[in-house]
Amino acid sequence: MTAGPSPDPTRPVAHPPGAFVSGPIDPPSADARQQATERLAALAIPTGAWGRLGDLAVWWSACQGQCPPTPPADVRAVLFAGDHGVASAGVSAYPSAVTPAMLSTIQTGGAGISVLARQHEVRLRVLDIAVAADVPGLPADVTAHKIRRGSGSIDREDACPADEIDRALAVGAQVAKEAMDGGAELLVVGDLGIGNTTPAAVLIGALLHLDANTVTGRGTGVDDDGLSRKRAVVAAALDRAATRTTDPRDLLAAAGSADIAAAVGFLVTAAHRGVPVLLDGLIAVAEALVAERLAPGAAAWFAAGHRSTEPAQSAALDALGLPPLLDLGMRLGEGTGAVAAVPLVRSAALVLGEMALLADVL
Ligand SMILES: O=C(O)c1ccc[n+]([C@@H]2O[C@H](COP(=O)([O-])O)[C@@H](O)[C@H]2O)c1
Ligand SMILES: Cc1cc2nc[nH]c2cc1C
């Protein structure tokens, strides 16, 4: 039997109000970009002296649609948490019990992201999308969007059924809308979940046609034996995913997870509404790569907060054309590498907006 034509995943489709909408994305303002480029060139500095901070200022101006830009006051981070069946194959240096423990720790304000979010006045929201265990005492806001308890072991089964991917995309869309309706000028996407560097590496490998050796990193710090096990799991998952890369939703079902899908919905919806997003490490950048496939043009609304130590993150950043702002050897996740870069966005906006022009000082 001959298979029928694949549906075009980038074709806009009719959705009920509030649902996830994919399809091509309008770029940030070309006029504001042009004005920002000219203003940057006219500042009282030697030409090009702001380096990448200048590029960041131009991107921010274009996203804000104005020049001079104002620094983002309302910045919101959303962390999508979930467990991953592959963890039981020994692909992580830590047990899955860490996921609910860190979910609680974020809630009580003691996680790395909690500290950085307080420091930089970033509002933090964490969602249990697919954590396996119940975490006692979590507020309803954290658990209300739970879709499943752990995603499938993608080396031998799908992460979850297609209808759960659709629900997860809609949850991410809803959460992005809530943040944007609340006044968010800049969003951050973060993750939490033992084992999640495996599906993230597989998604990147599948979409960029890279092999397991190229995309597999040490995640939380597996030793050499752990790295060999992880490479085998990634290779098996890449085999399973190889025929399922045409439709990003199907790829998420085959080799992603519900929590990753929710973050993809969040990213696409932010880009669709024209609200920029700072990306974190491997997981966030894998999500951005899938978002770009679902909604071509979305990546123009993203900036890479940092370079993680994970090799697949660098490969995906190259493919997306997103040079990372920071390169500190970090590999924590939780959105930390993105929130660490928030002051850079604010600095970039301020120097472009407030500095004197060379013509005025000479
Ligand atoms: O963001 C990254 O690049 C990153 C790199 C390594 C580890 N992590 C975090 O560590 C967890 C996944 O690591 P692993 O080894 O269990 O797959 C998960 O909670 C991630 O937030 C995150
Ligand atoms: C302690 C710990 C904290 C984390 N935060 C994100 N991923 C993590 C993994 C571990 C192991």
CATH dotted code for 75-343:
3.40.50.10210
Which tens digit of pLDDT belongs to each residue from 22-45?
A: 889 999 999 999 999 999 999 999
- 287 CB less than 6 Å from ligand 1? no
Q: What's the 289 CA to ligand 2 centre distance in angstroms?
A: 23
Whether the CB-CB separation of 52 and 16 falls below 8 Å is answered with: no
Three-state DSSP string of 201-248? HHHHHHHHCCCHHHHCCCCCCCCHHHHHHHHHHHHHHHHHHCCCCCCH
Determine which one of 164, 185, 287, 334 is catalytic. 334
Is the N-terminal amide bond of 323 cis, ω within 30° of 0? no
Q: pLDDT band for position 17 (50/70/90)?
A: very low
Q: Which of 92, 94, 339 to mutate to test the pocket of ligand 2 (most atoms within 8 A of CB)?
A: 94
Question: Has residue 12 got a pLDDT over 90?
Answer: no
pLDDT of residue 15: 42
- 333 CB less than 6 Å from ligand 1? yes
- Higher local confidence (pLDDT), 242 or 14: 242
One DSSP character per residue, 91-147 reads: -SSS-TTHHHHHHHHHHHT-SHHHHHHHHTTEEEEEEEEE-SS--TT--HHHHTT--
- 191 CB less than 6 Å from ligand 1? yes
Give the torsion sign (CA, 292, 70, 75, 193).
positive
Query: Pick from 56, 11, 8, 21: which is nearest to 36 by CA?
Result: 56
Which tens digit of pLDDT belongs to each residue from 90-105?
A: 999 999 999 999 999 9
Ligand 2 lining (C-beta closer than 6 Å): 94, 98, 102, 192, 220, 332-334
**Alpha-carbon span 210 to 312, nearest angstrom:** 9
Q: What's the 23 CA to ligand 2 centre distance in angstroms?
A: 34
- 194 CB less than 6 Å from ligand 1? yes
Please name every residue paired with 357 in a beta bridge, in sequence order, or none if there are none: 43
- 64 CB less than 6 Å from ligand 1? no
Question: Has residue 3 got a pLDDT over 80?
Answer: no
Question: Has residue 140 got a pLDDT over 50?
Answer: yes
Question: Has residue 14 got a pLDDT over 80?
Answer: no
Q: Where are the domains of the chain?
A: 30-69+351-361, 75-343
20: left (phi over 0), alpha (psi -120 to 50) or beta: beta
pTM over 0.90: yes
Whether the CB-CB separation of 120 and 224 falls below 8 Å is answered with: no
* Amino acid at site 215: V
**Alpha-carbon span 308 to 196, nearest angstrom:** 14
Which tens digit of pLDDT belongs to each residue from 194-237?
A: 999 999 999 999 999 999 999 999 999 999 999 999 999 999 99
Taking the CA of 279 as reference, the closest ligand is 1
- Has 334 been annotated as catalytic? yes
Query: Pick from 313, 275, 266: which is nearest to 294 by CA?
Result: 266
Query: Pick from 180, 176, 241: which is nearest to 207 by CA?
Result: 241
**Alpha-carbon span 100 to 286, nearest angstrom:** 23
- 335 CB less than 6 Å from ligand 1? no
**CB-based contacts of 38, cutoff 8 Å, min separation 6:** none
Alpha carbons within 13 angstroms on the beta-carbon side of residue 183 total 5
Q: In terms of DSSP bridges, do strands 277-279 and 122-130 run parallel, antiparallel, or are they unpaired? A: unpaired
Please name every residue paired with 151 in a beta bridge, in sequence order, or none if there are none: 84
Q: What's the 221 CA to ligand 1 centre distance in angstroms?
A: 9
78: left (phi over 0), alpha (psi -120 to 50) or beta: beta
ipTM of the shown complex: 0.99
Whether the CB-CB separation of 217 and 309 falls below 8 Å is answered with: yes
Q: Which of 91, 283, 309, 313 to mutate to test the pocket of ligand 1 (most atoms within 8 A of CB)?
A: 283
Query: Pick from 159, 192, 195, 170: which is nearest to 81 by CA?
Result: 192
Q: Whose CA is nearest to atom 10 of ligand 2?
A: 98
